Structure 1
């Protein structure tokens, strides 16, 4: 059995980053209602309007996906840096790392998956084509980045995601779904499983 919850972009409430350096909108968190120091996993959409340090999260692993904007460079204290330029480009890093962002062409927006590494595993894939998908048991979040996308959950149920909307799917056993998207559409699929 699969349970689905649709989250509209217009329903998300802005809140400051943990370090106050930007604005984020929480899409989903587990346990429900958990704060920034108590979640097992969390998905959010962040607005980065100025260069500066990211918030640090001990015991957390993160995946950040650029969804809008042109040019955000992420660098750590070891001198390693990654330049994200196109929507769908991503970076995985530890929450403890001292990461500093440098914007090259104005404000960017990104999709963030964070999970507590001793309690869960997280994975993100970028989907650019219409396709059938086999979902493993666990929690899945589908986020439509740039255009409307139809998610067929069964022969009798289809969910339409407008750009910026997300669909949370919880399934106790493997489940097949079908994704129908526009040519330019971009879909982020985040999967979280418990350890």
Structure 2
């Protein structure tokens, strides 16, 4: 894979598993996999009404808000969670029963899912201003960078990202220092995915 670019503007649109909306599929691994057999998947969807999340048994999910006022998320035996574009991503199990309530109009979200039996992932949002170096993490199989807002954002002096664009770095690149330079203050999603057999 080496370094691979992806872009929300050219993403493939697919129906939601529960049939009530559609998702822009940014990346799926392995390429050509279906919703039943992918190892991990990165996507974005516009949520236009209240409703329940699709169930994805055996998957771990991380959800973030790209635009809009946000969601109020209801789960069993827990207080409602408010998720906005200023919040860190919410991590949860794909089989969790979740009801999403729009706070004030539609939102666009960002979703990372990985198959729990074989993969783990962590997704975080970073504020990037000027030059910044991201710390390396041992044994990351894949690193994802996605420019949520701001930019242009230069990675390693050559890959330029604007809002809605991202990079995937494979194992050789994922475990090296990542230098970023933001011409304007930017928000960046950073994900590290690890295949269990890659652990020492």
- TM-score w.r.t. length of structure 2: 0.88
SS of alignment partner, residue 57 of structure 2: coil
Point out the more displaced range, 124-133 or 34-43: 124-133
Report runs of 4+ in structure 1 exceeding 4 Å deviation. Answer: none
Distance apart, 1:97 and its partner CA: 0.8
* Structure 1 alignment gaps of length 5 or more: none
Counterparts of 2:64 and 2:85 in 1: how far apart (Å)?
10
Counterparts of 1:8 and 1:90 in 2: how far apart (Å)?
20
Residue correspondences, number: 191
2:154 is aligned with 1:151: yes
Task: Report what 1:189 is aligned to.
Answer: 190
Counterparts of 1:30 and 1:85 in 2: how far apart (Å)?
28
Distance apart, 1:80 and its partner CA: 3.1
SS of alignment partner, residue 76 of structure 2: coil
Task: Report what 2:135 is aligned to.
Answer: 134
Distance apart, 1:182 and its partner CA: 4.3
Are the equivalent residues in 1 in contact too, given 2:88–2:124 (CA < 8 A)? no
Distance apart, 1:172 and its partner CA: 2.9
Are the equivalent residues in 1 in contact too, given 2:152–2:160 (CA < 8 A)? yes
Counterparts of 2:28 and 2:7 in 1: how far apart (Å)?
15
Write the deviation string for residues 158-188 of structure 1: whole angstroms up to 9, x where unpaired.
1111110111111236211111124441000
1:23 to 1:68, Cα distance in 2 relative to 1, 3 A: same
Are the equivalent residues in 1 in contact too, given 2:89–2:124 (CA < 8 A)? no
2:83 is aligned with 1:84: yes
Are the equivalent residues in 2 in contact too, given 1:88–1:186 (CA < 8 A)? no
* Structure 2 alignment gaps of length 5 or more: none
SS of alignment partner, residue 80 of structure 1: coil
Write the deviation string for residues 44-65 of structure 1: whole angstroms up to 9, x where unpaired.
1111111100110010111101
Counterparts of 1:79 and 1:170 in 2: how far apart (Å)?
37
SS of alignment partner, residue 135 of structure 2: strand
Alignment of 1:1-195 (within 5 A): 3-130=2-129, 131-136=132-137, 137-153=140-156, 157-172=157-172, 174-195=175-196
Are the equivalent residues in 2 in contact too, given 1:65–1:87 (CA < 8 A)? no
Are the equivalent residues in 1 in contact too, given 2:12–2:26 (CA < 8 A)? no
